[in-house]
A and B are shown apart, each in its own frame.
Chain A
Amino acid sequence: MILEADQVSISFGGVRAVDGVSLAIAPGQVFSIIGPNGSGKTTLFNLVSGIYLPNDGSIRLAGETVTGLAPEQLARRGLSRTFQNLQIFSRMSVLENVMVGRQRHERTGILADLLHWPSVKRQNAATREAARAALVRVGLADAADRPAGSLAYGALKRLEIARALASEPTVLLLDEPAAGCNAVETQELDRVIRSIVKQGITVVLVEHDMRLVMNISDRVHVLASGKTLSEGTPQQVRSDAAVVEAYLGVHGSQEAGRAFY
């Protein structure tokens, strides 16, 4: 297992936002976490990526316990993520945004950076090249020199993915990449995610767009009120009565049941 969570819990002011959730994600998979609004998906992401410290439970990355490590330490171990509410470096150009993604591969020293030693120049060139390659992968190569703040919403979503890709992660967490995207943008996203997986990167996805989730996932984990409701292949989860009930309510699930006949 490349990424594991074992009985992790966190409370905010007495509310158990995530309550004893366990995950085991195999390398190279697309693993989706779904659930109704407020079911704790993003909180679970924040726990796994080191932004929150769990009250209970442990997290392992590539077999190593990483509970309590800071996000920057996890990043250096190959865990990268995007954000549901975009976190773009809006003062920088599109290309520079992605160049920041190369930080964990760059060797830096204040003195060398101030004096612009030849090694810094060489490294800058290599970083720029790698960043351009990442932009090509998400279809943003033409926008490289534009200010990041000037891009459309869907393009910013892909910019975040390019930035995360530039860090060459082994595990990539995508927090609602399709939220607010139109059908064309979602299709583009589908293509991008498939190409990422093809490269051998494990993708963990929080997403509301069920078509995207069911299309692309190897396994789906369903949360409701901070607890695990179900886990399985997309087919198994889709036919799980408890899942349908959580999404549509008891009455709705009866209606849905009738609709099949």
Chain B
Amino acid sequence: MPAITVGIFIIVLPAFFPSAYYYRIGALVFIFALAVVGLNLLMGFAGQVSLGHAGFLGIGAYAVAIGPVHLGAPPWLSLFAGAIISGTVAFVVGRPILRLKGHYLAVATLGFGLLIAIVLTNEANWTGGPDGMNVPALTLFGWRVHGSAAWYWIAAVTFLGGFLLALNLMDSPTGRALQAIHDSEIAARVLGIDVARKKLAVFVISAIYASVAGSYLALFNGLITPDVAGFLRSIELVAMVVLGGMGSIVGSLVGAAVLVVLPQALTIFQEYEQALLGLIVMIFMIFLRRGMVPSVAAVFAGWHK
């Protein structure tokens, strides 16, 4: 059971944390991994690219900022509202966009992401503009959530839930339909699959994953700027999916972990940090071309034979 393995990993990992700072890194890994699992459902399983997924991260993030600050809604309610808004936006935008294929879909989703980022930057009365805004802390049943350790546990448990749901989905008629669409839309159609509807469903699900991750990110950092919805964030999410392995749910965690931890580890190289990061990612992709988890799994499968 991969879920149990991941669960044990989550519990055991803090025992190796030398300082509280590592809880912070751990929390960020699980927050991003949640968004990446969602994007992987869309990209790795259904084969539909999105270069604008940070847009949903942004909707989720600003929901927990705008809700409490401007509307007096509690943060947890704002988080749910953000998820519903993201799902609705994905439903409306997905209808026309998901008819496009390949590069055309990539450019259309790219445009969507940019649009969200621009709206968040320009609507300064609501969002604080380019400087962003402060995000009030999450309170659950009178408990004010603060500190990296608390967020580590919340992010990890939520990730585990998202991980389980994704595994469930793949082992269901909907999941099989999505994987079929990836390889041959026409064959999927002649077997009775409503391709447009399935694509839309997975787009909405992946948007909700990203939205919840965005809300967590904002609540955890206590501050949010439009960068959360920016193009670079979208690319980062895609890179995490591909690096960890398209179509590998475990790979999503690995991809997120590498791209969150590596920049931190490389800060000792100071000005060479970015260059080294790029180099390491390139080397990973050249030698593990199907992504880290599927490539390594294939090697192990080879040994067993």
Contacts and interface: CB of A to CB of B under 8 A. Distances in A.
A21 interface: no
Nearest to B184: A87
Contact of B174 (A80, A113, A163, A167): A113
Interface in B150-168: 165, 168
Interface residues of A, number: 40
Interface string B246-261: 0100000000000000
A107 B174 CA distance: 10
A167 B192 contact: yes
B189 A70 contact: yes
Given A71-B190, A76-B192, A120 B183 contact: no
B34 interface: no
B192 A83 contact: no
Given A71-B186, A92-B183, A116-B171, A104 B191 contact: yes
A193 interface: no
Interface in B171-208: 171-177, 179-180, 182-184, 186-195, 201, 205
Given A103-B193, A120-B172, A124-B172, A89 B205 contact: no
Nearest to B165: A114
A16 to B, nearest CB: 24
Interface stretch (A27-35, A93-101, A206-214, A218-226): A93-101
Interface core residue of B173, B188, B193, B201 (most chain A CB under 10 Å):
B173
Given A83-B186, A110-B201, A116-B172, A72 B194 contact: yes
Contacts of A164: 190-191
A254 to B, nearest CB: 43
A115 interface: yes
Contact of B175 (A80, A81, A91, A113): A113
Interface of B is mostly: helix
Contacts of B187: 83, 87-89, 163
B186 A108 contact: no
B274 to A, nearest CB: 34
Given A81-B190, A87-B184, A100-B188, A72 B172 contact: no
Interface string A188-210: 00000000000000000000000
Contact of A113 (B173, B180, B183): B173
Given A90-B183, A91-B179, A96-B179, A115 B189 contact: no
Contacts of B186: 51, 71, 83, 87
B169 interface: yes
A96 B183 contact: no
A106 interface: yes
Contacts of B177: 100, 103, 108
A9 interface: no
A116 B66 CA distance: 35
Given A72-B191, A114-B169, A167-B191, 6 more contacts: A70-B189, A71-B189, A72-B193, A103-B177, A114-B168, A120-B172
Interface of A: 49, 51, 70-72, 74-76, 80-81, 83, 87-92, 96, 99-104, 106-108, 110, 112-116, 120, 123-124, 127, 163-164, 167
